[in-house]
């Protein structure tokens, strides 16, 4: 038993000696890793003081980078010893190479220096926490670092620098990051202009995505903490980390659904919608580790795979722009996966390639610039194809319409010819019937011995003649809608044969051709008025004047004789009653009779254009 005890004590002493072995440095020592030469201790309760930790057993760290993921209740203690091997005082910069660690405390020589995302000094100019230390000639000094993060990931990497190389390193890193953000902002403005002109929601969602990336990366890289936010605002933003990450995820989902038209793929679209709905809920419940800590981000790792798979599936289904989507998002998704793996301490890609995230986003930006231009080209080609199809369709429709028009025209011409034949036949038969009636009346006149009866029959014959002349005129001129009113009135006057002993001169002043409908009534009116004039106004001879003109929509007809006139107070004759009825009931006009000096009958009515 004693032998075993001696062995264990010996091993403990060996470990202690190794643990306390000093790291030798000189004026040329710069950019070297310290963590793999340090020892560490994990305080699982976050309650131990420095004095208590000194008495605890540290273990040798063999890694250059330590990642613990999201461990809000744990504290990482790092111990290392530096030895100045020169005869001059050395001034070095100790860099804690992680911008998102919230609280970092350095202990040495009874000094305590605070730094970290929540404890930034106004004089700090570096992106990552850094401490200036000095060692006197041949001095050996031990250092303790306490690192803790409640919200963000606990990642540790220690690098020892000379001041000038450190400043050069910081300058180069800031230059790269400036170029990185310049590319993202340029792309954002480019897509904003495209959205303003196209109103395509895909561009809007991509703008939201780029804005989320810029905000996310500015926090992840330490830009916003260094240049924009105070320690208090930084703490609030850190507690809401899942909120701005959720904006990034939501914008990815919205862009994916719009750009790839995933509504065509019901099952995939349903899963994307589920993530779209649960993401804001998770973000709210993760504020300041209320219900979930940041380990909940592991839920979104399958989403990265799903988004890439959706791109491949859309490409398989013939979505043209999906090839750019797959390639561009492959860079971004894998970059986000590596960020999550680093956050959980499973794997740190930045050990091998520092700017992988920035490069991934820049490549994605370039690819999507091509994709957006290609999208416009696709839309232009689709529009051209649609225009071509529309032109062909219009040609086919024109041919079809022409065929239908020709068929309908032929049918209408046939119907019109038939109608014209029927119309001619009707006019012919009406004329024949009227002639037959006239013949019968003439026979009756010849056989009648009563002078009064003969006069009445003559008047009736003239009335029928006025209608017969109209049908005769229509039969001769079937192509004209308006026949000559003058010729029609002249025929009516020529056929009046009431009193052969009276010689009447008829003066015509016809300045308007009446429509056929009105011409029938006008003929009957003239027949009655001229008959009355011949019978009652003149004994031997006389003059009869007929005026017809139109002003605006109103037609004016005046029939005037220079005969004896008549007394209007007596009974009105049948002829005048017929005239009055035709004027008021059929033409809807007015009639005025002046019989003081001869007889003047003035008639007016409105005629539609």
Q: What is the pLDDT of residues 381-429, one digit of tens each?
A: 777 787 788 888 888 888 888 888 888 888 888 877 777 777 666 666 6
Buried b (16+ CB within 10 A) or exposed e, 215-243: bbbbbbbbbbbbeebeeeebbebbbbbbe
CA distance 128 to 108: 20
Angle at 118 between CA 97 and CA 141, to 5 degrees: 50
Residue with tokens 């959980």: 344
Specify the DSSP class assigned to residue 582. I
Q: What's the whole-model pTM score?
A: 0.60
Bridge partner list, 75: 43
Per the rule left: phi > 0, alpha: psi between -120 and 50, beta: everything else, 103 is beta
- Model confidence at 8: pLDDT above 80: no
Per the rule left: phi > 0, alpha: psi between -120 and 50, beta: everything else, 31 is left
Bridge partner list, 43: 75
CA distance 285 to 273: 19
Cβ contact 476:424 at 8 Å: no
* pLDDT for res 133: 93
Q: What is the pLDDT of residues 233-267, one digit of tens each?
A: 988 888 888 888 889 889 989 988 888 888 888 88
Within 13 Å and on the Cβ side, how many CA atoms surround 532? Answer: 25
Give Cα 443 to chain centroid, integer Å. Answer: 88
Cβ contact 254:286 at 8 Å: no
- Model confidence at 550: pLDDT above 70: yes
Cβ contact 273:250 at 8 Å: no
The two beta strands, 541-551 and 503-510, are parallel
Q: Where are the alpha helices (DSSP H) in 448-515?
A: 451-476, 485-494
Q: Which fold has domain 479-606?
A: Heat Shock Protein 90 (3.30.565)
Confidence of residue 91 (pLDDT cuts 50, 70, 90): very high
E strands, 358-465, are: none
Among residues 517, 452, 516, 526, which one has the least CA distance to residue 484? Answer: 516
Confidence of residue 152 (pLDDT cuts 50, 70, 90): confident
2-167 CATH choice from 2.60.40.2380, 3.40.640.10, 2.30.30.100, 1.10.132.20 = 2.60.40.2380
Q: What is the pLDDT of residues 465-520, one digit of tens each?
A: 666 666 666 555 555 556 788 887 888 777 766 566 667 788 888 888 888 778 87
- Model confidence at 17: pLDDT above 50: no
Q: Is the dihedral of CA 373, 376, 382, 388 positive or negative?
A: negative
Among residues 220, 222, 217, 278, which one has the least CA distance to residue 253? Answer: 278
- Model confidence at 40: pLDDT above 90: yes
Among residues 346, 413, 363, 412, which one has the least CA distance to residue 153? Answer: 346
If DSSP states are collapsed to H, E and C, what string results for 279-314? HHHHHHHCHHHCCCCHHHHHHHHHHHHHHHHHHHHH
Specify the DSSP class assigned to residue 535. I
* pLDDT for res 60: 93
Q: What is the pLDDT of residues 197-226, one digit of tens each?
A: 888 888 898 899 889 989 988 988 889 988
Read off the tokens for 39. 């020892």
Instruction: Please give the helix or strand (H or E) that residue 267 lies within, else none.
Output: helix 266-285
More confidently predicted of 65 and 420: 65
* pLDDT for res 1: 46
Read off the tokens for 460. 């009736």
The two beta strands, 554-561 and 503-510, are unpaired
* pLDDT for res 80: 95
Instruction: Please give the helix or strand (H or E) that residue 179 lies within, else none.
Output: helix 163-198
CA distance 362 to 598: 109
Give Cα 489 to chain centroid, integer Å. Answer: 70
CA distance 471 to 74: 117
Please give the C-alpha separations between residue 605 and each of 14, 240, 551, 595, 602, in angstroms, as whole numbers.
133, 89, 11, 21, 11
Q: Is the dihedral of CA 356, 251, 67, 122 positive or negative?
A: positive
Cβ contact 144:77 at 8 Å: yes
């Amino acid at each position: 038993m004693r032998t075993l005890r001696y062995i264990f004590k010996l091993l403990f002493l060996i470990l202690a000696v190794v643990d306390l072995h000093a790291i030798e440095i000189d004026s040329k020592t710069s950019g070297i890793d310290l963590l793999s030469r340090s020892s560490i201790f994990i305080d699982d309760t976050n309650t131990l003081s420095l004095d208590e930790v000194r008495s605890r057993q540290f273990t040798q760290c063999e890694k250059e980078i330590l990642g613990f993921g999201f461990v809000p209740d744990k504290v990482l203690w790092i111990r290392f010893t530096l030895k100045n091997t020169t005869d001059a005082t050395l001034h070095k910069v100790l860099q804690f190479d992680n911008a998102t660690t919230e609280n970092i405390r350095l202990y040495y020589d009874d000094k305590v220096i605070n730094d970290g995302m929540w404890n930034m000094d106004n004089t700090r100019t570096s992106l990552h926490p850094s401490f200036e230390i000095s060692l006197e000639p041949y001095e050996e000094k031990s250092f303790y670092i306490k690192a803790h993060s409640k919200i963000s990931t606990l990642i540790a990497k220690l690098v020892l620098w000379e001041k000038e190389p450190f400043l050069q390193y910081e300058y180069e890193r800031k230059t790269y990051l400036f170029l990185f953000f310049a590319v993202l902002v340029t792309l954002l403005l480019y897509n904003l202009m495209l959205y303003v002109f196209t109103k395509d929601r895909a561009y809007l969602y991509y703008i939201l995505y780029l804005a989320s990336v810029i905000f996310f990366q500015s926090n992840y890289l330490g830009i916003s903490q260094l240049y924009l936010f105070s320690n208090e605002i930084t703490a609030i933003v850190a507690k809401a980390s899942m909120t701005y990450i959720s904006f990034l995820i939501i914008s990815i989902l919205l862009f994916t659904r719009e750009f790839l038209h995933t509504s065509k793929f019901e099952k995939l679209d349903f899963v994307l919608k589920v993530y779209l709905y649960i993401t804001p809920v998770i973000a709210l419940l993760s504020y300041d580790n209320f219900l979930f800590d940041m380990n909940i981000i592991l839920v979104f790792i399958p989403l990265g795979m799903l988004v890439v798979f959706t791109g491949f599936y859309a490409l398989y289904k013939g979505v043209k722009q999906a090839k750019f989507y797959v390639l561009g998002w492959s860079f971004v998704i894998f970059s986000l996966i590596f960020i999550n793996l680093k956050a959980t301490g499973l794997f740190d890609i930045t050990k091998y390639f520092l700017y992988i995230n920035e490069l991934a986003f820049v490549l994605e930006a370039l690819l999507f610039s091509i994709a957006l231009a290609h999208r416009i080209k696709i839309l232009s080609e689709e529009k051209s194809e649609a225009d071509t199809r529309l032109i062909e369709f219009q040609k086919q429709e024109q041919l079809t319409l022409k065929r239908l028009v020709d068929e309908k025209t032929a049918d209408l011409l046939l119907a019109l010819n038939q109608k014209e034949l029927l119309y001619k036949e009707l006019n012919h038969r009406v004329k024949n019937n009227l002639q037959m009636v006239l013949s019968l009346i003439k026979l009756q006149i010849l056989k009648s011995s009563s002078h009064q009866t003969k006069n009445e029959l003559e008047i009736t014959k003239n009335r029928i003649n006025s209608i017969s002349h109209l049908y005769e005129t229509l039969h001769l001129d079937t192509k004209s809608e308006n026949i000559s009113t003058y010729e029609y009135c002249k025929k009516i006057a020529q056929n009046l044969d009431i009193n052969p002993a009276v010689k009447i001169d008829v003066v015509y002043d016809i300045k308007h051709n009446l429509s056929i409908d009105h011409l029938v009534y006008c003929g009957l009116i003239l027949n009655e008025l001229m008959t009355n004039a011949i019978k009652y106004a003149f004994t031997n001879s006389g003059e009869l004047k007929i005026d017809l003109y139109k002003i605006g929509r109103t037609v004016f007809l005046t029939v005037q004789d220079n005969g004896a006139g008549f007394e209007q107070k007596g009974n009105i004759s049948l002829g005048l009653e017929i005239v009055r009825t035709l004027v008021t009931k059929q033409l809807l006009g007015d009639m005025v009779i002046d019989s003081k000096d001869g007889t003047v009958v003035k008639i007016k009515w409105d005629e539609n254009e």
